[in-house]
Chain A
């Protein structure tokens, strides 16, 4: 009985005690510790995974919304530009039309005025001729009253005036 004898001596009592001890430890731990702990760890793992998934989804959603926003903004900008351009073109068109119309009006007014002037001139000439003729007749009558009959004198004056108006 030396050396390893003590170390390797079989001991049924200790064996039984250890078996009981270990089974008890395992039963208690399994029931009261590993169950709750692993369950909690799994649920935490799931929670974290879920929140990460959610975060990723939210991020994707946000990105999609952002992209939507960007396109919408671009579209609205483009439409605003188009509107502005259209408005400008319209305005340009209207202005051009207005200018032409005004010019035409001015021209017609000028034309009218010129015609008026012409007419006035003609009537004024006519009146002047009559006046001159009357004056001449008056003058000649006064002269011829003395020495010639009136009809012969008027004929002479008219002939004279006819040569005048052609100049």
Chain B
């Protein structure tokens, strides 16, 4: 297999792993947030804000991984 093929493979696998990690992270974040907002609807706004911040941080890390994958796909 030629090296560029390996790079593509790495990019694809990496992208998948990134999606997996981010999905897990945001899932773990969003589930309790939903529960919390269901339990305390009056705190909805604060929960949403802090959830968005945390989701953004997780997503930020995921995006770094994604960028590495894109760079790999650059060849």
Which residues 1-29 of A sit at the B interface, judged by CB distance below 8 A? 2-5, 8
Residue B63 at the chain A interface, CB threshold 8 Å? no
For B73, the chain A residues whose CB sits under 8 A away are 2-4
Taken residue by residue from 20 to 58, chain B's Cβ proximity to chain A (1 for < 8 Å, 0 otherwise) reads as: 000000000000000000000000000000000000000
Q: In the complex, how many angstroms separate the beta carbon of B16 from the nearest chain A beta carbon?
A: 16
Interface of A is mostly: helix
Q: Which residues of A contact B70 (CB under 8 A)?
A: 4, 8
Which A residues are within 8 Å of any B CB, using their own CB? Answer: 2-5, 8
**Chain A to chain B: the 7 pairs with minimum beta-carbon distance, closest first:** A4-B70, A3-B73, A4-B73, A5-B74, A4-B74, A8-B70, A2-B75
User: Count of chain B residues with Cβ under 8 Å from any Cβ of A?
Assistant: 4
Across the interface, which residues of A come within 8 angstroms of B74, CB to CB?
3-5, 8
Chain A to chain B contacts (Cβ below 8 Å), 10 pairs? A2-B73, A2-B75, A3-B73, A3-B74, A4-B70, A4-B73, A4-B74, A5-B74, A8-B70, A8-B74
Q: Tell me the minimal C-beta distance from A59 to chain B in angstroms.
A: 30
Q: Within the assembled complex, what's the spacing in Å between the Cα atoms of A2 and B74?
A: 6
CA distance A4 to B73 in the complex (A): 7
Known A3-B74, A8-B74; 8 more pairs at CB < 8 Å: A2-B73, A2-B75, A3-B73, A4-B70, A4-B73, A4-B74, A5-B74, A8-B70
- Report chain B residues within 8 Å CB of A4: 70, 73-74
Residues of B contacting A3 in the complex (Cβ-Cβ under 8 angstroms): 73-74
